Structure 1
């Protein structure tokens, strides 16, 4: 089934955040809060701030080493668990230990399930399909509501589909104007896989005069332009920041739109 975008019940900056349906009743907010490289007390404080600002989609991973701090922030925030979409990920080194890994993540996060569990990177080819089959078992056991992958190409996804009949609902990959690949996006859409893009700002020359000019035309910042560009391509965004003002700025990208010419200019970067 091709995922369909629709407005959900998530609010920020006076705009509803669109969601994408991953499975019946499972709605992924298309703007999330990334937590890579945010650890210790900073992970706790940043997640608390993100929830306070209006984020309801939190992205973490076993590999990030911050699930316990994020779990404490979730509990202390006062936000109802049912209103928060939580993603975590299995390290490829844990292939074969799927049940133990997700149970450790749930304990650290202080929840009885996550909303999306991803294979963080493809494990060795011999382990890829068994790992994906184990993911289905974990999903069927109710420990996660949906399952997907990260850093996979179309051929690897096709292998999973061929061997198990199960399509990953999400593929989280590095994405930026310099990495823009229409063929890859088309491949994912053809398979019904939602693309999430990470490190879009890290991998973008934010001082590029073309981006600066577009930002000036809309009265916004260059990072906002890059994030809005991703959303125009139906790519879920998970920007990270430890600064409240930047978190708020990232959420406000729904307040303007880019023209077709501006999109083409950014695509060409």
Structure 2
């Protein structure tokens, strides 16, 4: 039986499937989020850098679902690392909520808070404009302090897009272990070394892009199509269920009501099917999410 939720080291329960809100903007995004909440979703994955927090907040309010029934995740933006407290205040105000269940450092990449772009500031030569005299360890220290000072506003803190090297650095510097590390995670980016490290340190991996991102070859894979047909489900349902079966929550994104509903319906895959999905991914290794401000370790 696949779990409905995963329990973090601090006792918080994270739903096994949430709705990613990247690019869920305007009326279509509002409708998708509201529909998801009214049809069983208990987790929303948001970020300041998505620039849609007002839409998310309005959908939460209009859904009729009580705030305490929603596991709400948001992320500290790259250009706000040196002004974390203000970013938190703006986030809560924009969402129209009093607290976050989980606040993540979106990337281990502090960018110039006073640069020429709110998302990706650039220098005159076109290179990324990083914050001077600042690093992600300082950012983590700020988040730890905010968590200690405002437990009523932050239930938990964690990170995203961190590799083993970055995790070791913040743990060594502070002694505080993030409860979650949200990363790209699917059969073609099956980060077993990172998964083992996180498991050994009580860090829950959470999978974004669990289908392999928009236009993923996995969605057209004939072998995966065969597994899906045999189980009477879709390829996305197989990929989402594969992730949950392997030990992590997943946060697929869609604006289609039909796909939103399908993504919440997990399927019990056989051991052979799970092994085959892993094998298919291992033969087609690929990381879909890249960023000019961060270099990933090899998968």
Q: Same fold (TM over 0.5)?
A: yes
Aligned counterpart, 2:284: none
- Stretch of structure 1 that moved more, 92-101 or 136-145: 136-145
Return the alpha-carbon distance in structure 2 between the equivalents of residues 127 and 98 of structure 1. Answer: 13
5+ residue gaps in structure 2? 111-132, 282-299
Q: Provide, for residues 207-242 of structure 1, a one-character-per-residue CA deviation record: whole Å limited to 9, x for no partner.
A: 212111111111111111011100111121001111
1:20 touches 1:30 (CA, 8 Å); kept in 2? no
Give 2:48's match in structure 1, choosing from 39, 59, 62.
62
Give 1:135's match in structure 2, choosing from 143, 149, 156.
143
Give 1:180's match in structure 2, choosing from 173, 187, 190.
190
- How does 1:137-156 map onto structure 2 within 5 Å? 137-140=145-148, 141-142=150-151, 143-156=153-166
1:22 touches 1:146 (CA, 8 Å); kept in 2? no
5+ residue gaps in structure 1? 1-5, 8-16
Aligned counterpart, 2:8: 21
Q: SS of the counterpart of 1:117?
A: strand
RMSD over aligned CA atoms reads: 1.6
In terms of fraction of residues, the more strand-rich structure is 1
Return the alpha-carbon distance in structure 2 between the equivalents of residues 174 and 242 of structure 1. Answer: 20
Q: Provide, for residues 187-211 of structure 1, a one-character-per-residue CA deviation record: whole Å limited to 9, x for no partner.
A: 1111111111111222452121211
1:62 touches 1:88 (CA, 8 Å); kept in 2? yes
- How does 1:1-269 map onto structure 2 within 5 Å? 17-24=4-11, 26-124=12-110, 126-140=134-148, 141-142=150-151, 143-201=153-211, 202=213, 203-253=216-266, 256-268=267-279, 269=281
Q: Provide, for residues 158-194 of structure 1, a one-character-per-residue CA deviation record: whole Å limited to 9, x for no partner.
A: 1111000000111111112111132221111111111
Q: Count matched residues.
A: 252
Q: SS of the counterpart of 1:135?
A: helix
Q: SS of the counterpart of 2:176?
A: coil
Return the alpha-carbon distance in structure 2 between the equivalents of residues 27 and 40 of structure 1. Answer: 30
Once the two structures are TM-superposed, the CA of residue 22 in structure 1 deviates from its matched residue by 4.6
Return the alpha-carbon distance in structure 2 between the equivalents of residues 53 and 245 of structure 1. Answer: 11
Q: Considering only CA atoms, is the larger Rg found in Structure 1 or Structure 2?
A: 2
1:176 touches 1:204 (CA, 8 Å); kept in 2? no
2:82 touches 2:134 (CA, 8 Å); kept in 1? no
In terms of fraction of residues, the more helix-rich structure is 1
- Stretch of structure 1 that moved more, 195-204 or 234-243: 195-204
Aligned counterpart, 2:295: none
